[in-house]
Structure 1
């Protein structure tokens, strides 16, 4: 959410005091993230510590907080950012129409803003390898979604394609969106078709499912040098956790958004920490996920563009995000290369 929610400062003060025991707080709204139904704040409290508060509007799947807590505390994967428990030991609390989750504040930059050092690339690989090798307890794994190569996003894009043929009207933002879509209509159709084709292959193979972050782009990895500790990093953004083939996460390494994480040297450092050889990676699954992520992003862009409650600023951001994907050597070009490698 890029604009503050309709939530008085007093409401934030009262809930953090009653649920987390924080007093004399100062809340600063942070216009971060692409999620239209969440908002984040920096919280400074009288205990001298800084916190990161995330509000979820449409209900919170408890695995979003329970799995990172298990990985961090029970499995000792320090790079996983885990929520702080409330005074009643809950990992989230409900109030004022939101689910509230409180985290330690990581005073650093994300991977888009600051390149990872060699040591951070190795650490990221080691952390992800540990996550993928983790056997979750039944109490957690039973509640997690499993990869089904579903057609939901592909059908969603196709519905919009049929709608656009009927000459959809709109404001200036919508007109620019539709002009760009029309310019790339053939390529978009090709991406959707290939995603479906690759999904049918994987449905026959049934690859091993492992715990996956599922949204491991550069914006969800924070890096910094804190308290004398060099090469520190934190993996955040656990909203899409799923049991899936390891390529669900590995597609981001060498295939990142916005020209981030696309260098062979970075990939080699990551693999050093991860511990798997390149030949152990399923090229078909890698190509599928790189196509399917674009399809999902296109559907989300359409939903945001034609959401009557979305702000003009949010819709402009959605338009720019869609356009960026089609730039040279960005995710669309990388998906094409991944497909060419298996055909």
Structure 2
């Protein structure tokens, strides 16, 4: 969220004191992330300690705090575990928001700083530890499983129809509609490939493992001394490992991407693995379809002058640039026999 929610800072500060026994001397809103349902702050305590405060509204899955906590206790050090409330809970309720508190690390994400070779290797080693993690059955039962569902594809089909048939007075909506019309062929190909590949994968028995499911470089936090942390656990899923591995060498940094270096260094830490080409292609295509749906919801189904809307348009447009994720998705699709 790029703009503060309609919640007074004094209310948040008082809540942190009451729920976490953290007397706050200063609270700073951090305009980070594309999720309009999540707001984050830095809280400076009177003791000098600093905390990362995450406010999440809407759908909330308790595994997003339970699983990182368990993994951290198992020795996965690339995770910043949430701090329990005074009542021992891993989150607290503040009106429509769920509040998660964790230590604040004054780092930068992988969009802001390029990972070094060593950091890519460190990331690979950390992600392998997630994929190999053993969790109790009662925890695994709470985590969603991959279904290869068509909901995002169906939504995008409807948005394509709207973009072709309607005119929009709002400038951001009009620009998005023009983008959808101009990129209709590419989007239709992404939908078709995701549909075909997903249908085929649903009839196979690929092993499902614990996946972060959104582990792009924007969800890597690089500490000042160079340590790499994996953050934002709202999307946990049991799925084929390609659900996470699709991001490696996938063109997320556009023309700046060095896919060969990323993969070489990452897999030095992750270890040897046989990539399923159909699963990799499915996830790369489906992820872009999901992004199209999410940005259309954000822009076409809302109004106003929120900074999140033009930023969402910019991010979506960038995916179609040369050397970006759409190009890499089509390469993967062709390798999997889905030429469109």
Name the residue aligned to 2:107: 108
Question: Match for 1:270 among 266, 273, 277?
Answer: 266
Q: TM-score, normalised by structure 1?
A: 0.94
Asked if structure 2 preserves the Cα contact closer than 8 Å seen for 1:217 and 1:256, the reply is no
Tell me which moved more, 177-186 or 165-174: 165-174
- Write the distance in 2 (CA, Å) between the matches of 1:204 and 1:197: 11
Structure 2 unmatched runs, 5+: none
* 8 Å Cα contact 2:16/2:24 also seen in 1: no
Query: How many angstroms apart in 2 are the aligned matches of 1:62 and 1:131?
Result: 18
CA distance in 1 between partners of 2:90 and 2:25 (Å): 20
Is the 1:85–1:91 Cα contact (8 Å) retained in structure 2? yes
- CA distance in 2: counterparts of 1:262 and 1:284, whole angstroms: 23
SS in 2 for 1:77: coil
**Selected match of 2:313 from 306, 309, 319:** 319
Report 1:1-343 matches (<5 A).
Answer: 1-73=1-73, 75-226=74-225, 231-259=226-254, 262-277=258-273, 280-308=274-302, 311-343=305-337
TM-superposed deviation, 1:107: 1.2
Instruction: After the TM superposition, list the runs of 4 or more consecutive aligned residues in structure 1 that deviate by more than 3 angstroms.
Output: 309-312
- Residue-by-residue CA offset, 1:275-331 (whole Å, 9 max, x unaligned): 124xx0111100100000000000001101123356442110111111000000100
- Once the two structures are TM-superposed, the CA of residue 114 in structure 1 deviates from its matched residue by 1.0
Shift of 1:261: 5.3
Distance 1:258 1:245 in 2: 24
Q: Aligned partners of 2:24, 2:65: CA distance in 1, in Å?
A: 26
Deviations for 1:65-98, whole angstroms, at most 9, x for unmatched residues?
001111111x210002211111111100001321
SS at match of 2:288: helix
- Cα RMSD after superposing both structures: 1.4
Map Cα deviations across residues 136-182 of structure 1 (whole Å, 9 max, x no partner).
21121111100010111001111112222322433111111111111
| Contact 2:43-2:53 within 8 A present in 1 as well | yes
Q: Is the 8 A contact 2:280 2:332 kept in 1?
A: yes
Contact 1:253 1:262 in 2 (8 A): no
| TM-score (norm. length: structure 2) | 0.95
CA distance in 1, matches of 2:231, 2:302: 30
Q: How has the CA–CA distance of structure 1 residues 59 and 194 changed in structure 2, closer, same or farther, with 3 Å as cutoff?
A: closer
Q: Contact conserved, 1:255 with 1:334, CA < 8 A, in 2?
A: yes
Question: 2 CA distance for matches of 1:111 and 1:82?
Answer: 20
Contact (CA 8 Å) 1:255, 1:262: kept in 2 or not? no
Distance of 2:32 and 2:187 partners within structure 1: 28
Taking structure 1 as reference, are residues 192 and 121 closer, same or farther at Cα in structure 2, changes over 3 Å only? same
The secondary structure found in structure 2 opposite 1:257 is: coil
The Cα offsets for residues 181-223 of structure 1, whole Å up to 9 and x where unpaired, read as 1111111111111110110111121210000000011110011
CA contact (8 A) 2:164 2:181 kept: no
SS in 1 for 2:159: helix
CA distance in 2 between counterparts of 1:308 and 1:112 reads 27
Aligned length: 336
- 1:110 Cα deviation from its structure 2 partner: 0.7
Q: In 2 relative to 1, CA 146–50 (structure 1 residues): closer, same or farther, beyond 3 Å?
A: same
CA contact (8 A) 1:224 1:233 kept: yes
Q: Distance in 2 between matches of 1:327 and 1:10?
A: 43
